[in-house]
Amino acid sequence: MDAMKKSSTKNHQIFVANWKMYTSADEEIRIGSENYDNFIDLARNPNHEIILCPSFLSLHTLSNIFKETPVQLGAQDCSEHNKGAFTGQVSAKSLKAAGCSYCIIGHSERRQFNAENNQQISLKFQHLLDQGIAPIVCVGENETEYQEHRALQVLEDQLKEIFSLMRSSKYTLRDLPICIAYEPIWAIGTGNVAQPEHLNTVFAWLANQTKNIDPSINWKFLYGGSVKANNAAWLKEIEYLDGFLIGGASLDFQEFEKIVYCTN
């Protein structure tokens, strides 16, 4: 299914499973196949959007497995280039052909371990829009920046180029979701979830920043960083939040299901 179709429904929540490099491609395919009916049941609910982001290697197979179902596939990254001599990279066009409707870009692990900068991330963003793939742009401050109350300043910096691209009205987006995932680095994989007061400030800021860019843009705001079954209920109460980017907890279907249904 296309990212555009379901997102036109208001009040639905987006659950992105970021499987990172936690397991092998075979195992990812096994998780998808063994839970085929379960994932479809979750995604069939009109209030849920379920997006699986496995490694590149299993993306095509999983997208074939879930073809013609409401379960959607996303990639964990894409190249900042269109095509050419870029060994080891995967283009947005190939992702589209592999059945991707979403793609994570600018994840803090890529910023940290692959030295990605905001300019590269904005190029990736443009290639995704050109292909009609919904981008999930990850932003977030580190522990020191958080302690020094500089989170919004960091976000402003990380989103500057994306916002100016969106202001330029160069793209015909129709309903394509433009997702911003706020993932404080100190919350990723640590068990430390950002507190409601901080999240309210950040998401209100995001809503305010994006409000005036172009009212027709389908902005979606996600939170990521130690989302688990035991904190999903209160996190869902955060104003302006449209869903979650879930790492470690998303590989265990039972845990993932509990997050989606808020049962603990």
Tokens 């996600």 appear where? Answer: 222
Taking the complex as a whole, the smallest distance from the CB of residue 50 to ligand PGA amounts, in Å, to 15
For ligand PGA, the closer CB: 22 or 261: 22
Q: Which of 54, 70, 135, 224 binds ligand PGA (CB under 6 A)?
A: 224
For ligand PGA, the closer CB: 33 or 190: 190
For ligand PGA, the closer CB: 39 or 244: 244
Catalytic residue among 48, 49, 80, 107: 107
Q: Which of 58, 226, 251, 256 binds ligand PGA (CB under 6 A)?
A: 226
Residue 91 lies near ligand PGA (rule: CB under 6 A): no
Concerning whether 183 is annotated as a catalytic residue, the answer is: yes
For ligand PGA, the closer CB: 122 or 226: 226
Q: Which stretch binds ligand PGA (CB under 6 A): 139-147, 149-157, 197-205, 222-230?
A: 222-230
The Cα 30–Cα 9 span in angstroms is: 31
Concerning whether 107 is annotated as a catalytic residue, the answer is: yes
**Contact between 14 and 220 (Cβ < 8 Å):** yes
Concatenated DSSP letters of 19-40? -TTSS-HHHHHHHHHHTHHHHH
Site for ligand PGA in 166-195 (CB under 6 A): 183, 188-189
In sequence order, the β-bridge partners of residue 53 are: 18
For ligand PGA, the closer CB: 105 or 213: 105
The Cα 74–Cα 96 span in angstroms is: 10
At 224 the three-state DSSP class reads: strand
b/e 80-115 (16+ beta carbons within 10 angstroms → b): beeeeeeeeebbbbbbbebbbbbbbbbbbbbbeeee
Catalytic residue among 80, 116, 183, 255: 183
State the virtual CA torsion across 17, 21, 23, 27 in degrees, nearest 10: 60
Cα within 13 Å of Cα(18), Cβ side: 27
Q: Which helix (H) or strand (E) covers residue 138, if one does?
A: strand 134-139
The Cα 232–Cα 243 span in angstroms is: 10
Taking the complex as a whole, the smallest distance from the CB of residue 256 to ligand PGA amounts, in Å, to 11
Q: Which stretch binds ligand PGA (CB under 6 A): 4-12, 24-32, 194-202, 224-232?
A: 224-232
Residue 247 lies near ligand PGA (rule: CB under 6 A): yes
Taking the complex as a whole, the smallest distance from the CB of residue 94 to ligand PGA amounts, in Å, to 23
* Residues classed as catalytic: 107, 183
Contacts with ligand PGA, residue ranges (CB under 6 A): 18, 183, 188-189, 224-227, 245-249
